[in-house]
Amino acid sequence: MTTDPKAPLRHWAKQYRAGLDRRQKVQKDADITAQLWQLPQFAGAPAVVLYAALPREIDTLPIIEQCIDLGKQVYLPRVVGRQLQLVHTPSTASLRIGAFSVPEPTGTRLCGRTDLPIVVPGLAFDRQGYRAGYGKGYYDRLLANWTGFKIGLCYRDCLFATVHPHLYDIPVDQVLTEETEKENTHDQ
């Protein structure tokens, strides 16, 4: 029986998130959001792919709403079978709880592009841009042919030297934490 080397990192990251008090989380999330808006690949894009966060994940709702307010086309994932479908989301009011208790869009207009900047969740990341998600492979399948700039949002304490990537894992181009310096990953 083989053991997943990411399992202890996932457990640690979940415990870390659970241990953040509300004030700490709000401040860290705001700092990470500020880092995201400083990235020209994201700030200057007319269309972006984001995700609707679970309660203990970095809160993306303010990012989604600000993008919509600025007139950006926003796409959010919806689980369909073993794939993520990217759905145009003109308003957060249309989100409904979907697979894995994640808020999902209800629209019908799908994103047919793979060249947009995409912000992906992760329990933990490493300095090479690899992520440890929840272990279902949804984002690895989505990112396999993604050509747009890939961004990971991560609490600094959940950024490790390695997350023990598998052969099929796809790294992000940039990991953003609440600290002022962006964590550069592989050559861009």
Higher per-residue pLDDT: 133 or 50: 50
Amino acid at 118: I
Binding residues for substrate, by number, are 57
DSSP H stretches of helix in the chain: 7-19, 22-38, 40-43, 61-69, 138-143
pLDDT of residue 51: 96
Amino acid at 85: Q
pLDDT band at residue 188 under the 50/70/90 scheme:
very low
Residue 25 has pLDDT above 90, yes or no: yes
CA distances to 22, 135, 183, 185 from 42, in Å: 27, 26, 16, 16
CATH architecture of 7-180: 3-Layer(aba) Sandwich (3.40)
Binding residues for ATP, by number, are 6-10, 131-139
Assess contact for 64 and 51: CB atoms under 8 A: no
CA distances to 3, 37, 115, 147, 183 from 12, in Å: 16, 28, 33, 31, 20
Question: What letters, b where the CB count within 10 A reaches 16 and e where it falls short, cover 148-164?
Answer: bbbbbbbbebbbbeebe
Residue 146, both tokens: 């993604």
Neighbours of 36 (CB within 10 A): 22
Widest CA span of the chain, in angstroms?
51
Question: Strands 124-126, 131-132: parallel, antiparallel or unpaired by DSSP?
Answer: antiparallel
Assess contact for 150 and 118: CB atoms under 8 A: yes
What are the backbone angles phi and psi of residue 29, rounded to the nearest 5°? -60, -40
Binding residues, by number, are 6-10, 57, 131-139
Radius of gyration from C-alpha coordinates of the chain: 15
pLDDT band at residue 187 under the 50/70/90 scheme:
very low
Structural domain spans, the chain? 7-180
pLDDT of residue 110: 94
Assess contact for 19 and 89: CB atoms under 8 A: no
pLDDT of residue 144: 94
- pTM assigned to the model: 0.91
Residue 185 has pLDDT above 70, yes or no: no
pLDDT of residue 142: 94
